[in-house]
Amino acid sequence: MSCMKRETALPSAIGADGRDFNAFDVMQPRLPGAIPATARNGGRVKANNVPPEGVYLPNNNHLAPHMRSPDYVQMSTAAAITLGVMPGKMHRCGCTRCLNLLLTYPEGCRANCAYCGLARHREADRDYADRNFIRVDWPAVPMEQVVDIVAKDPAGSPFHRMCISMITHPRSDDDTVTVLKTWTRRIDPSAIPVSILSNPTTMQRADVANLKNLGADIFTVALDAATPEIFDRTRGKGVDSPHSWAKYWEVLEHARDIFGREKFGAHIIVGMGETEYDVLSLVQRLVDMGGHSHMFCFFPEKGSLMDHLPATPRDQWRRVQLARYLIDYAGVRIEQMRFDSAGRVTDFGLPRAEIDTIIDKGTAFRTSGCPGKFAEDISACDRPYGDSPPSNVASYPFELKPVDVRKVRHQLGLERSGESYAEGDDLEPGNWI
């Protein structure tokens, strides 16, 4: 049986009220405020009506540019650096392996998810193209320019996968199809496979089938919340947002039927008030369906309705990361694991020696997502520092070194005898995003 030594957790691992997990009662979002009429539906952007001019880097003191998909897409700072359209360096990362393309409109996303930097309530103070999302800026780039760069040498590209991320907008379904066609006209999807991060609220079964027929490889649903109650409070009625748990599951089941085993999955954010048992039950359900879970550690996104709440304590996050990896890739079932009265993992269901081997490999603690070209259990979508600062990494966007494994063991309370980790041992100097 594995032994949890919680008293050895880092000070930064302690969550609200001194607890080592983010409990439901403390993870209550703020209510969205009123939006001035002039700012609604991209009002400021449309009033400025500035024609787009090539690549748009957020916060450059431009007047808000009038850009929209399918001609324009946004991409993460890491993807823009890797593509070569903006300068910058990432702590301990040479590049990202996933070109994540986010649909963009002056009206922005019409949903209001409480943890999200793109949510509608932000119209009050920030134009869509200038909003932070998973901790970073998202430059906007003409889609043809993206394809021009990648089509020069798809097989030699640093990108192992492209992902189209839909948002909640009336044009989102049609524009996803156009962006996919623009890509596959010049880039063979067998050289760089395409994933779809869907918006189920606007989709029907025929939309899922159409994307598969047009060459999409993997279809994912961003459930984000691990339980129906958390879903409703963070993405549904609780924050005046249009999403429903039932509709998300309906589309996830379409994806299972149409894309098939290993070709669909769901995003889950850990630490929004669910128990570890809740989230791992969901992970098991997805594996039993034939899919995978892609996990994010809750981080209080600046400007979001949850920016006053604590990030997920590292020991909670590491327990869930390890248990999820065992279920997804090592054939362990949740029934073999044990949990305490607060739903925390107390036994991972394997002998300690086997757990040690898996921890030492480090893969369980890397960013999870759709696979790239290295291995089935190594995500192309490495999202550098999307769910933590580099100083306290949640999802490792690179292969762990021995010092990183020591840190993870310290956070888990599973150190080897004679080993130690001191805060900062893993940090390297440099320019960080």
Considering the complex, state which of residue 116 and residue 141 has its C-beta at the smaller distance from ligand SF4: 116
| Smallest distance from ligand SF4 to CB 116, Å | 3
- Binding-site ranges for ligand SF4 (CB under 6 A): 109, 111, 113, 116, 118-119, 167-168
Considering the complex, state which of residue 111 and residue 140 has its C-beta at the smaller distance from ligand SF4: 111
Dihedral of CA 76/78/83/88: which sign? positive
| Smallest distance from ligand SF4 to CB 203, Å | 12
Token pair in block for residue 377 = 């259990």
Compute the residue count for the chain: 433
Considering the complex, state which of residue 165 and residue 284 has its C-beta at the smaller distance from ligand SF4: 165
Considering the complex, state which of residue 271 and residue 390 has its C-beta at the smaller distance from ligand SF4: 271
Considering the complex, state which of residue 118 and residue 255 has its C-beta at the smaller distance from ligand SF4: 118
Cross-strand pairs, 347: 338
Q: How far apart are CA 309 and CA 301, in angstroms?
A: 9
Looking at this protein, which amino acid is placed at residue 239?
V
Considering the complex, state which of residue 65 and residue 303 has its C-beta at the smaller distance from ligand SF4: 303
Cross-strand pairs, 194: 162
- Contact, 131 vs 104, CB < 8 A? no
- In sequence order, which ranges of 214-372 are alpha helices (DSSP H)? 228-235, 245-259, 276-289, 314-329, 352-361
| Smallest distance from ligand SF4 to CB 167, Å | 4
Kindly give, in sequence order, each residue whose CB lies less than 8 Å from that of residue 206, ignoring residues fewer than 6 positions away. Answer: none
Considering the complex, state which of residue 119 and residue 270 has its C-beta at the smaller distance from ligand SF4: 119
Closest CA to 134 of 387, 433, 305, 307: 387
Q: Give CA angle at 420 (414, 421), nearest 5°.
A: 95
Considering the complex, state which of residue 113 and residue 311 has its C-beta at the smaller distance from ligand SF4: 113
| Smallest distance from ligand SF4 to CB 404, Å | 29
| Smallest distance from ligand SF4 to CB 3, Å | 37
- Contact, 167 vs 102, CB < 8 A? yes
Closest CA to 234 of 114, 112, 110: 114
| Smallest distance from ligand SF4 to CB 119, Å | 4
| Smallest distance from ligand SF4 to CB 102, Å | 8
DSSP class of residue 336 equals G
Q: How far apart are CA 163 and CA 421, in angstroms?
A: 37
| Smallest distance from ligand SF4 to CB 304, Å | 9
Considering the complex, state which of residue 221 and residue 358 has its C-beta at the smaller distance from ligand SF4: 221
Note every long-range contact of 147-151, with CB atoms under 8 Å and residues 24 or more positions apart, other chains counting: 147/182, 147/183, 147/185, 147/186, 147/187, 149/83, 149/84, 149/85, 150/83, 150/99, 150/187, 150/192, 151/186, 151/187
| Smallest distance from ligand SF4 to CB 166, Å | 8
Closest CA to 70 of 222, 188, 220, 178: 178
